[in-house]
Amino acid sequence: MASSLETAENRGDLRRVVIDPVSRVEGHGKVTLLLDEAGHVREARLHIVEFRGFEVFIQGRPYWEVPVMVQRLCGICPVSHHLAASKALDHVVGAAAITPTAKKLRRLMHYGQILQSHALHFFHLSSPDLLFGFESEVGRRNVVGVAETYPEVARQGVMLRRFGQEVIRATAGKRIHGTGSVPGGMNRHLAAEDRDALRADIGQVIEWSRAAVELVKRLHRSNPGLYDQFGAFRANMMSLVRDDGAMDLYDGALRFRDGDGDILLDGIPDAMYRSVIREQVKPWSYMKFPYLQQLGPDDGWYRVGPLARVQNCDFIPSPLAEAERREFIDHGNGSPVHATLAYHWARMIEMLHAAEVLRDLLDDGDLLAGSLLAGGERRLEGIGIIEAPRGTLIHHYEVGDDDLVTMCNLIVSTTHNNQAMNTAVREVARRYLDGRELTEGLLNHIEVAIRAYDPCLSCATHALGKMPLALELIEADGSVAGRLVRD
Amino acid sequence: MTDKAPLPKLRVATTSLAGCFGCHMSFLDIDEHLFELVQIVEFDRSPLTDIKHCGPCDIGLIEGGVCNAENVHVLREFRANCKTLIAVGACAINGGLPAQRNHLDLGDCLQQVYVGRDGIEGGRVPDDPELPLLLDKVHPIHEIVRVDYFIPGCPPSGPVIWKFLTDLIGGRTPRLSHPLLRFD
């Protein structure tokens, strides 16, 4: 059982091997392995080593600043935080139902982000492992290597990402950390010239997205043993699902399935998340370990993100992606697909879906006109949940009568996947590294497993850390700039 | 006509300290220019490569401020290895949004987040030796090492980064015209 590799006995006697930093992911993390004399892996952990403190310093700020501030949690998926905070604060301003125009503009922005983030992850960060092999030469294993060897693949990745970023710019004014969504709605329409420019390119974007799904399927067919078994383990799944069972990345209610694919919980409204999800803290990571309360911390952890979403929904509401989803489901022969590398396949299906949604939205005249803001009875609490590129993202705020935030709780996508990533690390360590001389290429297997989850470790490090001891930091000119402190 | 050997590529390293990777995303927002860039530069340590430690480089780009011992170590390694060091974006220049925590008491924050929140089981503050020592304040990078250039913005846009790099690589003093010089 891989989970037994979480904590070894006699830790002091074991040899430590470290992967630091985990590269080609967003944010800061490292992996430590403890090995015995025979090279057997006795412990394997993914540590999240960065601390930032958003949950605390948001408190005391006026609520209307929050959707802009929290974007700085992440430069890859700022829109997710922008929108999750806005959705939560819609409740605070009494606008639980925003206007159709505002909702469509938010969806446009969000699906643009899904497209750009999925393209970035697959083409810029993960594809070198899959195209060249996990043990290929380090210097080549990056997007530059892909551009040299597979120029058309690299170009499509860059252009897909560019399109998604342009959708964000058109709706938020800036590609990264823009302003568009506000509590109660949106602050601008889409300009007709932006709409026209995006419409001119969307057909090509859909074709490239289809090609990306084909590329992943080709990779699976080329080595089914690897793709079906690498880092495979049974896990529960969680995502938002629309009330008719459709995949919906902007809105919906929580659904949980177990590892056999049976529904455990369904239709949990966002406001009820606290009644089903709890979090565990472990001393060796700043990232918490969420779990489904009714199953407890040992059995209740779950996966989120594309692999969960594609299997948790009943259908994808766009034809090309739905056809691909069915092929994916068939691949499981009646059981859920639990292989870690299948995340890439599911992610590209979602990218295709995002392109289809964008195409349909760009034909909708509501984007260019109509009421942008709604309001209602002022409230003191708001919870907003969205399906970010990496999975379910929860923002929860309490706001005082003076409009200042009094409480902020965030459970970000990568945090939901914390136990799943640790389990993947242990599965891969046990299967590929155990008892062997550890080379860079073998260690990269661990990173390949982590990368499949598309972790966003900046997002996941919104909390603050503990200071281990006192140490002075001396400036370049010799003066004391600060201290490191341990209680 | 003479056969000239191609010029050796410039070596560029990038890293993120206490930042959000938004500046790296803006770097990728140079879009197709990326393919031009890789004709003239090679990447050393970067979140885009698997090189874990920075070697001798011509240009180092740093995103994010300094919030823990690991950041200090990485920053000094960059300074020691990079001929030209560039602070990219608000966090590297003045600490940015993460520096909002500078007026808070860390002990209180930790208690709130890891012990005091609803829905926490077995709350305790993480304290494993594998977690790097945390600074009591978030610092801009120029307080720790000498910095050659600063590119403002949260983040600076792709066109800004492209203009700056092409000026620098072309041997010109980088100049950002007024429309490019933004701080938001």
DSSP letters, B74-130, are: HHHHHHHHEEEEEEEHHHHHH-TGGGGGGGS-HHHHHHIIIIISTTEES------TT
How far apart are the C-alpha atoms of A443 and B178, rounded to whole Å?
47
Q: Which residues of A touch B29 (CB under 8 A)?
A: 162, 165, 175-176
Q: Which residues of B touch A139 (CB under 8 A)?
A: 49, 51
Cα Rg of chain A (Å, integer): 22
Which of A121, A467, A474 to probe by mutation at the B interface, max B CB count within 10 Å? Answer: A467
- What pLDDT band is residue A390 in, cutting at 50, 70 and 90? very high
How far apart are the C-alpha atoms of B44 and B57, rounded to whole Å?
7
How far apart are the C-alpha atoms of A296 and A280, rounded to whole Å?
10
How far apart are the C-alpha atoms of A460 and A141, rounded to whole Å?
26
Number of Cβ within 10 Å of residue B5's Cβ equals: 5
**Position A485 pLDDT exceeds 70:** no
Peptide bond before B155: cis, by omega within 30 degrees of 0? Answer: yes
Q: Which of A39-43, A470-474, B87-91 has the lowest mean pLDDT?
A: A470-474
**pLDDT, position A52:** 79
Higher-pLDDT residue of A40, B109: A40
Q: Which residues of B touch A55 (CB under 8 A)?
A: 112-113
**pLDDT, position A473:** 55
- What pLDDT band is residue A481 in, cutting at 50, 70 and 90? low
Q: Which residues of A touch B62 (CB under 8 A)?
A: none
Task: Estimate the crossing angle of helix A192-222 against helix A319-331, to 10 degrees.
Answer: 20
How far apart are the C-alpha atoms of A308 and A310, rounded to whole Å?
6
How far apart are the C-alpha atoms of A212 and A321, rounded to whole Å?
12
Q: Which of A7-11, A56-60, A270-274, A464-468 has the lowest mean pLDDT?
A: A464-468
Cβ of A50 within 8 Å of Cβ of B43? The answer is: no
Evaluate whether A319 touches A352 at the Cβ level (below 8 Å). Answer: no
CA angle B75, B81, B87 (to 5 degrees): 45
What backbone torsions phi and psi does residue A431 show, to the nearest 5 degrees? -80, -40
Cβ of B126 within 8 Å of Cβ of A465? The answer is: yes
Cβ of B32 within 8 Å of Cβ of A175? The answer is: no
CA distance B171 to chain A (A): 24
| Coil, strand or helix at A65 | helix
By the 10 Å C-beta count (0-12 exposed, 13-18 middle, 19+ buried), A469 is classed as: exposed
CA distance A315 to chain B (A): 32
Picking from A313, A194, A305, the residue whose alpha carbon sits closest to that of residue A245 is: A313
Token representation of residue A242: 């629309």
Q: Which residues of B touch A72 (CB under 8 A)?
A: 20, 22, 96-98, 154
Q: What pLDDT tens digit does each residue of chain B (184 aa) get?
A: 556 677 789 999 999 999 999 999 999 999 999 999 999 999 999 999 999 999 999 999 999 999 999 999 999 999 999 999 999 999 999 999 999 999 998 888 888 889 988 889 888 988 898 998 888 899 999 999 999 999 999 999 999 999 999 999 999 999 999 989 988 8
How far apart are the C-alpha atoms of A61 and B159, rounded to whole Å?
32
Note the pTM of the prediction, 2 decimals.
0.94
Percent above pLDDT 90 for chain A:
89
Cβ of A24 within 8 Å of Cβ of B98? The answer is: no
Which of B91, B121, B148 to probe by mutation at the A interface, max A CB count within 10 Å? Answer: B121
**pLDDT, position B73:** 93
Q: Which of A183-197, A444-458, B148-162 has the lowest mean pLDDT?
A: A444-458
Contacts of B75 (CB under 8 A, 6+ apart): B17, B62, B66, B141, B144, B145
**What's A138's DSSP letter?**
G
Question: What is the count of residue pairs from A and B with beta carbons less than 8 Å apart?
Answer: 251
Buried-exposed string A26-36: b where 16+ CB fall within 10 A, e elsewhere: bbbbbbbbbbe
Closest-CA residue of B relative to A284 is: B128
By the 10 Å C-beta count (0-12 exposed, 13-18 middle, 19+ buried), B127 is classed as: middle
Cβ of A176 within 8 Å of Cβ of B125? The answer is: no
Q: Which residues of B touch A147 (CB under 8 A)?
A: 34-35, 38
The Cβ-side half-sphere exposure at A172, using a 13 Å CA radius, reads 30
What backbone torsions phi and psi does residue A131 show, to the nearest 5 degrees? -85, -35
**Position A197 pLDDT exceeds 80:** yes
pLDDT in tens, A102-160: 999 999 999 999 999 999 999 999 999 999 999 999 999 999 999 999 999 999 999 99
Cβ of A484 within 8 Å of Cβ of B121? The answer is: no
Question: How much is the average pLDDT of A164-188?
Answer: 97
Q: Which of A159, A279, A469 sits opposite B119 (nearest CB)?
A: A279
**Position A443 pLDDT exceeds 70:** yes
| Coil, strand or helix at A118 | helix
Q: Which residues of A touch B134 (CB under 8 A)?
A: 51, 464-468, 484-485
Q: Which amino acid is at A93?
A: V
CA angle A28, A33, A34 (to 5 degrees): 145
Contacts of A269 (CB under 8 A, 6+ apart): A253, A254
Cβ of A473 within 8 Å of Cβ of B135? The answer is: yes
Which of B10, B28, B31, B33 to probe by mutation at the A interface, max A CB count within 10 Å? Answer: B28
Cβ of B122 within 8 Å of Cβ of A283? The answer is: no
The number of residues making up chain A comes to: 487
Closest-CA residue of A relative to B128 is: A284
| Coil, strand or helix at A141 | coil
Cβ of A487 within 8 Å of Cβ of B70? The answer is: no
Question: Alpha helices of A438-484 — where are they, by DSSP H?
Answer: 440-452
Evaluate whether A313 touches A247 at the Cβ level (below 8 Å). Answer: yes
How far apart are the C-alpha atoms of B138 and A302, rounded to whole Å?
34
Question: How much is the average pLDDT of A163-186?
Answer: 97
Q: What is the interface pTM, i.e. ipTM, of the complex? A: 0.94
Q: Strand A236-241 to strand A302-303: parallel, antiparallel, or no bridges (unpaired)?
A: parallel
CA distance A346 to chain B (A): 23
Question: How much is the average pLDDT of A210-236?
Answer: 97
pLDDT in tens, A339-351: 999 999 999 999 9
CA distance A171 to chain B (A): 16
Q: Which residues of A touch B43 (CB under 8 A)?
A: 142, 144
Beta bridge partners of A385: A394
Token representation of residue B68: 């823990």
Token representation of residue A81: 């935080």
Picking from B19, B157, B88, the residue whose alpha carbon sits closest to that of residue A175 is: B157
Q: Which of A23-27, A198-202, B75-79 has the lowest mean pLDDT?
A: A23-27
**Position A476 pLDDT exceeds 60:** no
Q: For chain A, what is the mean pLDDT?
A: 93
Token representation of residue A49: 């080593």
CA distance A329 to chain B (A): 32
pLDDT in tens, A238-293: 999 999 999 999 999 999 999 999 999 999 999 999 999 999 999 999 899 999 99
